[in-house]
Structure 1
Amino acid sequence: MLKRTLAVFALALLASASSFGQAKLVEKVTRQGDELVIPFEKYKLSNGLTLIVHEDHSDPVVHVDVTYHVGSAREEIGKSGFAHFFEHMMFQGSDHVADEEHFKIVTESGGTLNGSTNRDRTNYFETVPTNQLETALWLEADRMGFLLDAVTQKKFEIQRATVKNERGQNYDNRPYGLVREYVARALYPYGHPYSWLTIGYLEDLDRSDVNDLKNFFLRWYGPNNATLTVGGDVEPKQVVTLAEKYFGSIPAGPEVEAVTLPAPVLEKDRYVSYEDNVRFPLLQIVFPTVPRHHPDEPALDCLADILGGGKNSLFYKNLEKPQKALQANASHPTSELGGELDLTVISFPGVPLSSAEAIVRESLKEFEQRGPTEEDVQRFVAQAEARLINGLASVRGKVSQLAAYQTFQDDPNYIADELKAYTAVTTADVMRVYNQYVKGKHAVILSVVPKGDTASIAQADNYTVSEKGYQAPDYGYDGLTYNKAKDSFDRAMRPKPGPNPLVKVPDIWNAKLRNDIKVIGTENNEIPTVTIAITIPGGHYLSASDPGKAGIAALTADMMNEGSEKYTAEAFASELEKLGSSVSVNAGDEAMTVYIQSLKKNLQPTLALAAERMFHPRFDADDFARLKKQQIEAIAFQNNQPEVIASKVYDRLLFGERSIRSIPAIGTTETVENITLDDVKAFYNQYFSAANSYAVVVGDLTESEAKPAMAFLESWAAKPVPAVTFSETPAIDKTRIYLVDKEQAPQSQIRMGYLALPYDATGEYYKATLMNYPLGGAFNSRINLNLREDKGWTYGARSYFSGSELQGPFTASAGVRADATDSSVVEFMKEIKDYHTNGITPEELAFMKSSIGQRDALDYETPYQKAGFLGRIIKYNLDKDYVKEQAKILQSITKAEIDALAKKHLQPEKMNILVVGDKQNVKAGLEKLGYEVVELDMEGNRIESSMTNEPIQIEKSATPTKQKKSRKRAAEKSGK
């Protein structure tokens, strides 16, 4: 357990001496020794806004988070989805920030941004270079205090359409996407704010109007219901001064009181079910438990881990390992007003869920009889400690924790209490919460079955929602008024950033082991962890010599993740969990990679386990049979998903049916059926070689500590590995549309592109990515502004180059509303053709240079980012200063060069356009576009083609766009 010795100053005495203007210092926490703590200062402004500042000068980066204590739990019956809808509207401009400018300004500043909504809170956040702190605060304050006059009916309608697309993409049309909705409706009483999802119901969005939305903002989005958290390379005094300037004059909103509700009481087990477009039946049993940070939460988390948390869980032993289920797990998600113990089983096709329910209930009885063990708790505690520490790897992670603790606990310093609560869990606690919340208690039992397979449900539905006894509360919407801040400065003046921060590329050390393995590393002592990635070139593409066994690399990696000669799979997992470490083998297209994550104090035993996993795999026959079956079932599952179908067929069009690159890394049913355990052993013995392998080390290790630690790799034999050869790729003689029928699909997946370039860091590929940035590489790109922001047809659209050492494609892609499929193809092509013909605008060129030129500050912050940077250097044999050369190219590149790149590398006349959608609804519209339409099956085999007589003129689309005007307005607003 980490020792908690904190310097906490509750400042009755110091407040007056340490205040800046309106802001009163409430608390200051510093680190004393090596305890787990996030240092901060907490202030309160006179309008009720809470300000938290975390000072961390390790990287020239600032993260700004504004968390409003409002989520879907503040909504009312018939008006669900408002909190999430408002998250979208908050990006649509305010009095002093033009339409679509929020994303543009932050991106142009080299930053990233987003927002998120859950049951209990909504947050908006930016990570920006240090010199853009004032700009971020200006933007957040403007939408807090000056939003409503900029909310128009037109914006409302476009974002309503976007939210509908999001619901369709992430819920209605995603396998098992409605599980939480069905559970929530059955678990919580009618009118309970958790009885609907954050996304809300479409019918509620349809019946709402812009005034409903404005009232929601006025009720819940005042500064007194918000926490502003700023962390990173800042001085607290400067942050407080700027917060006072931009937020201090915003009037407080109505008072917001805390809500507490009793846990649901279930009079009997509630069975509910629905049919879905899935292959595998799913069973979920849900018991109501306790809210977030309740004293019983850690013990319930531990109970979930014992029941279904990994290879040592009861569900794994009783369901997964004997192949009675594809997957089985348990979790304990909690929210502000309640929690749920979720027991989930994904069964095999044709297996009734009643049998899965019986095994779950038998497993609960088994737990009751054997009880939790000390080792169970030890594993759980170690993982909890590692999770909390790893969550602090970035300034965003630290700021997010501070904001959440303040919002829900009124205590930013809660991390020490949380660690103490988890490390104090005992076996008696776990048994007690089982008896209190599970034993003899009723649950919601949800069955999700393939369409037409109602016979597989666990039990007939016996529950319907009742409105009996419901009385709507007073949400306080009467008499709301919109009061704007009165300032002594001009808010319309966008703050001028300071000079760009000096970005320091990580100091790098290099070494070569005795077997010629190259090692590259950098020290990062912000948190006491170590991240190691060992890359073995080859991967899936090694199957090119025997494509009839494609998928063998993935199956070999899965087998290596089981047991070793010394440990069974369960014992191996137990040893890692007791250390809070992970060692995993992954197979990609071009390489296999061993990922190692450890707390520094546990590195040596973790590396000993890594050596076991890498060099002494068990290759057990029972494990092989189970994993092979799971891989075949995963292929069958993926083959029913439009996104996967689109990716697979698109690759086949690009690379040709004979190429290993056209076969997914997971393989096909036929190829995986061909693989034997002896094949896996032979693949491992032949290709898992030190030859050309390399390692990346990032973490709390000096060079002198890291080099000896990596010596465990020196006994690894460097067996020669043959080079992979690829078949010739098919040429594209003209642009065609390829259509794959996905019956009744409410959305269409669009992929369009062609083979372009291999990766290079400072040559044509890099310059092509610069060229693409305004077209489809940023949120404010032409493609996304058109299809998402102007039309509301998609949740997101983009274009990108994706080369590696091999020639890779240029791709434009989106999932679009089915009835806008042909129009979306028109707009995609219109944007690509216009950019190909007319090139970049001066405003776009300046935006691209500013955005990419300043984002280096964000590129090397976390261990994961540092490892990726070092991995590129060693993989492509780059000079460590290649980023300086990129910066020179970026700043010197001209409009003429970009225009020439667009003409050269955008090929609108020779593209594959793939549409996966409902043929009955989309084919006729596609045939009117003037391209040959070729029908393919879901494997990419040709069915038939058709050609219209008179091609239409794509440039003169019947679907007008306001995009160019909106871009012009945005440029004018920002002074361009």
Structure 2
Amino acid sequence: MENGLTVILHKDTSDPLVHVDVTYHVGSGREEIGKSGFAHFFEHMMFQGSENVADEQHFKIITEAGGTLNGTTNSDRTNYFETVPANQLEKMLWLESDRMGYLLDAVTQEKFEVQRETVKNERGQRVDNRPYGRLYETVSAALYPEGHPYSWPVIGYMEDLNRVNVNDLKAFFLRWYGPNNATLTIGGDFDEVETLSLIKKYFGSIPRGPEVNMPEKTMVTLDEDRYISMEDNVHLPLIYMAFPTVSNRHPDEAPLDILSEILGGGKTSILYKNLVKNQFAVQASVGHPCSELACMFNMYALPNPAAGKSLAELEQIIRDALVEFEQRGVQEDDLIKAKAQMEASFVFGLQSVSGKVSQLAANETFTGNPNYIEQDIARYANVTKEDIMRVFKQYIKGKNSVVMSIVPKGQLQAIAHEDTYTIPKRTIGEKSNTSADDLELRVATSSFDRSVMPQAGANKAVNVPQMWQNKLDNGITVLGAQSTETPTTAILIKVPAGNYFETKDKAGMASVLAAMLNESTTTRSAEDMSKALEKLGSNVSISADDHYLNININALTKHLDATLALANEKLVAPAFDANEFARVKNNAIQGIKNSQKDAGYLASTAYRKLMFGDSLAGMPQGGTEATVMQLTLADVKAFYQTHVKPADAQLIVVSDLPQTTVQKSLDSLNNWQGKGPKLSIEIPNSSHKAGVVYLVNKDQAAQSAIRIGKRGISRDIVGEFYKSYLMNFPLGGAFNSRINLNLREDKGYTYGARSYFWGDKLSGGYTASAEVRADATDKSIVEFVNEIKSYHKDGITDAELDFMRKAINQRDALKYETLRR
């Protein structure tokens, strides 16, 4: 457009909906020293209303339209997006254009203060209160020199946000939020000519902002290894190594990505073999995250306490693995796996209109070519063995890195190496005195009345997929549907063998069994199984919940039969190897111990026990340290032989294949035979006392995790349970609910607060929850109780009832968009 706005349209009539994305080419990497967090902060402010959209109405309008929405910020861009029924497109253009061109007058000091508290709560929840939460920002501060765009975290430092005022934030908007620094991408069911006319109407008069130039891509080099360390409230220490490499879409990015997979990408990798399989570490991995200006090649491991390996020893094992790789070289299977996974990733990413639009928007923003996906596929497909060895020698072999040790509090003696580098103290300026007079305002004008929200026409009819049912000879009930949008197949098998089939003294059995079924079979090692699936670009994962063992299968349809054969092998022929069991059991125990450092886990575990008393239902889903500790391999085998049977199992499949073809493929599961016992469990009454506050201590927690609730009705489809969902929607079920608006938007106590009904066919309940500022714990509880009491006393308002009806009734278009929905 004349004002510089880039517009991309992608027509897709597979579903009667549209996805609108506005991406601004500004992230934390465009901020200034001492003013970190502005890009992310402004993401929050963009949802607080604009000149013609009232406070708290952005979420309400889109939710009421039957849509979903969000915004995200990273180091290089900020995007805002919504998926709505197709008839709501004009309304979305009105909303997005109003906050692009008519925002600043609605940005008040009061909103600024509330959102500043919300951002602090978000950092507390996602960073400060999470084990290892400060790892990445600390490594970045050591890897990049001060002033480098990636030397500070995206969410920013809270002392920076505390120093600035609302005018600093407005200045940031004026600098970066012009249409000439934005890409508007729309995908879905719309008329192109009409949509272009609407875009010109709503966005055409917004004046362009200052010119934006691409920042310089400066290669980072280290003159020596930089050893750094920190104490944290964690159970296990961690060692992390980060090598500076290239930048996003650099010719060497693709071979470095494949190198990371060879070294640490799953059960076929060198680090898995040398650290996890032999139980020196409970976890080890390698990655190559890339951003617009720089990438880092990272390697990390968490030691297994039973092995007694120190962080220094783990570091040496990692360095020895690099030597082993050089001697081993690149194998043909390495390339086959990487390219198959890349193909599958691209295809599965095209299942939803949001996935397609996101890809188009990102490609345009960072390459100037929305169809860059073709080059993306090509650059990975063309990687050779020689390319991988070249980048290994150029960026990793013998190169310096940041090596960080994180150890439990009071255990600094356990670090891998004494610190050799001190992160420079950050430059922190004086408190800001930016005034409104310092702003160079841009004024947009319109030839129509922007205060009038466009009205949507009738909803387009939703093409509900035709369902079909069948039953395999072994007793599995099949429910299927056809979706021809992508050549993919998704299958979920639900076997009645979940946590409720355990005994209380052996809680955690189903989760350990699920992990064992993801290991070796009698004919194939875990590594060979992983390799076979990766070469197909397929995924088979097994997990447990209260009622079921869940087998999730995703495959390109051309590989469906081969994938089903591997899934079947996992189910009918597990090896139950003693060494693998020892590792799986130990990892489960360490996971439980680590979870006890998380306030949310502690709160939910205590809450579940109060809801269900001293019973199996009151146990954590993965068991406790004591119950998992006493599990034996014989126990797990017996549980498998008794319960993992196909009769009474359910299979849900969505594929681009017709029913007859799918049924023929599913017949391969008929060699799995047998019927397990019926579920027999008593769900006791709740043991807690009403009106009592129960406290669980977590030392130095940045936030408090709150759970308030009671036992209630069990789940049904269209009865009271469904009605309870409708009733709760305005109280705590939507972003604009009373509870969230009170605790987040009004008080600034939390990043998010909610309430919900939960349940299964045996029991249920009601829960209100939030992670809140520690100093606002008591006040938050009071507000929760007041909102619930007020709703109980006075009931739903006419406006809330109308909002709920519209929001629920117009969601149908989003229900059937992807195979997994």
CA distance in 1, matches of 2:483, 2:361: 25
Match in the other structure for 1:121: 77
Match in the other structure for 2:619: 663
Q: Is the 8 A contact 1:351 1:456 kept in 2?
A: no
1:382 aligns with 2:352: no
1:842 aligns with 2:798: yes
Deviation, structure 1 residue 166: 0.6
Counterpart of 2:388, as a letter, is: V
Q: 2:473 aligns with which of 509, 514, 520?
A: 514
Q: Is the 8 A contact 2:686 2:711 kept in 1?
A: no
Q: Is the 8 A contact 1:115 1:123 kept in 2?
A: yes
Q: Is the 8 A contact 2:738 2:787 kept in 1?
A: yes
Match in the other structure for 1:164: 120
Counterpart of 2:386, as a letter, is: A
TM-score normalised by length of structure 2: 0.97
Q: Is the 8 A contact 1:639 1:645 kept in 2?
A: yes
CA distance in 1, matches of 2:408, 2:427: 36
1:563 aligns with 2:503: no
User: Relative to structure 1, is the Cα distance of residues 466 and 770 closer, same or farther in structure 2, using a 3 angstrom cutoff?
Assistant: closer
Which consecutive unaligned segments of at least 5 residues does structure 1 have? 1-44, 471-476, 866-976
1:501 aligns with 2:477: no
Q: CA RMSD in A?
A: 1.6
Q: Is the 8 A contact 2:244 2:295 kept in 1?
A: yes
Match in the other structure for 2:493: 534
1:750 aligns with 2:706: yes
Deviation, structure 1 residue 733: 5.6
1:187 aligns with 2:143: yes
Q: 1:599 aligns with which of 556, 577, 580?
A: 556
Match in the other structure for 1:369: 327
Q: Is the 8 A contact 2:108 2:166 kept in 1?
A: yes
Deviation, structure 1 residue 484: 2.0
Match in the other structure for 1:232: 188
1:200 aligns with 2:166: no
CA distance in 1, matches of 2:701, 2:535: 46
Counterpart of 1:600, as a letter, is: T
Q: Is the 8 A contact 2:243 2:298 kept in 1?
A: yes
Matches within 5 A, 1:157-556: 157-349=113-305, 351-466=309-424, 481-543=440-502, 546-556=503-513
Deviation, structure 1 residue 108: 0.6
Counterpart of 1:393, as a letter, is: Q
Deviation, structure 1 residue 467: 8.4
Q: Is the 8 A contact 2:27 2:77 kept in 1?
A: yes
Counterpart of 2:806, as a letter, is: S
User: Relative to structure 1, is the Cα distance of residues 626 and 47 closer, same or farther in structure 2, using a 3 angstrom cutoff?
Assistant: same
CA distance in 1, matches of 2:685, 2:338: 51
Q: Is the 8 A contact 1:796 1:815 kept in 2?
A: yes
Deviation, structure 1 residue 465: 3.6
CA distance in 1, matches of 2:531, 2:802: 54
1:714 aligns to what SS in structure 2?
A: helix
Deviations, residues 317-367 of structure 1 (Å, cap 9, x unaligned):
100011111101000000000101011111234642111100000000111
CA distance in 2, matches of 1:224, 1:92: 23
CA distance in 2, matches of 1:116, 1:206: 22
CA distance in 2, matches of 1:504, 1:805: 30
CA distance in 2, matches of 1:613, 1:732: 42
Match in the other structure for 2:87: 131
Match in the other structure for 1:883: none
Match in the other structure for 1:36: none
2:693 aligns to what SS in structure 1?
A: strand
Deviation, structure 1 residue 260: 1.9
Matches within 5 A, 1:50-69: 50-69=6-25
Q: Is the 8 A contact 2:610 2:687 kept in 1?
A: no
CA distance in 2, matches of 1:304, 1:776: 43
Match in the other structure for 2:736: 780
User: Relative to structure 1, is the Cα distance of residues 792 and 479 closer, same or farther in structure 2, using a 3 angstrom cutoff?
Assistant: closer
Deviations, residues 286-309 of structure 1 (Å, cap 9, x unaligned):
011111111111100000000000
CA distance in 2, matches of 1:622, 1:741: 36
Deviation, structure 1 residue 718: 2.8
Match in the other structure for 1:823: 779
Match in the other structure for 1:625: 582
Deviation, structure 1 residue 808: 1.1
Q: 1:693 aligns with which of 642, 649, 656?
A: 649
Q: Is the 8 A contact 1:93 1:150 kept in 2?
A: yes
Q: 1:583 aligns with which of 540, 546, 560?
A: 540
1:653 aligns with 2:597: no
CA distance in 1, matches of 2:155, 2:404: 20
Deviation, structure 1 residue 503: 1.7
CA distance in 2, matches of 1:325, 1:281: 11
Deviation, structure 1 residue 818: 1.0
User: Relative to structure 1, is the Cα distance of residues 539 and 53 closer, same or farther in structure 2, using a 3 angstrom cutoff?
Assistant: same
Counterpart of 1:52, as a letter, is: I
Q: Is the 8 A contact 2:264 2:271 kept in 1?
A: yes
Q: 1:572 aligns with which of 529, 532, 539?
A: 529
1:737 aligns to what SS in structure 2?
A: coil
Counterpart of 2:816, as a letter, is: Y
Matches within 5 A, 1:903-922: none
Match in the other structure for 1:802: 758
Q: Is the 8 A contact 1:799 1:811 kept in 2?
A: yes
How many residue pairs match? The answer is 813
Counterpart of 1:46, as a letter, is: E
Counterpart of 1:383, as a letter, is: Q
User: Relative to structure 1, is the Cα distance of residues 72 and 833 closer, same or farther in structure 2, using a 3 angstrom cutoff?
Assistant: same
CA distance in 1, matches of 2:676, 2:234: 44
Matches within 5 A, 1:913-932: none
1:758 aligns to what SS in structure 2?
A: coil
Match in the other structure for 2:33: 77
CA distance in 1, matches of 2:110, 2:552: 49
Q: Is the 8 A contact 1:522 1:698 kept in 2?
A: yes
Deviation, structure 1 residue 712: 1.6
Counterpart of 1:445, as a letter, is: V
CA distance in 2, matches of 1:104, 1:730: 36
Q: Percent identity?
A: 55
2:295 aligns to what SS in structure 1?
A: strand
CA distance in 1, matches of 2:798, 2:152: 47
Q: Is the 8 A contact 2:129 2:599 kept in 1?
A: no
Deviation, structure 1 residue 734: 3.1
1:636 aligns with 2:593: yes
Deviation, structure 1 residue 610: 1.0
1:368 aligns to what SS in structure 2?
A: helix
CA distance in 1, matches of 2:447, 2:740: 38
2:696 aligns to what SS in structure 1?
A: strand
Counterpart of 2:125, as a letter, is: Q
Deviation, structure 1 residue 225: 0.1
- Structure whose CA Rg is larger: 1
CA distance in 2, matches of 1:708, 1:697: 13
CA distance in 2, matches of 1:794, 1:635: 26
Match in the other structure for 2:431: none
Deviation, structure 1 residue 479: 7.2
Deviation, structure 1 residue 744: 2.3
CA distance in 2, matches of 1:785, 1:401: 33
Counterpart of 1:506, as a letter, is: P
Which consecutive unaligned segments of at least 5 residues does structure 2 have? 429-435
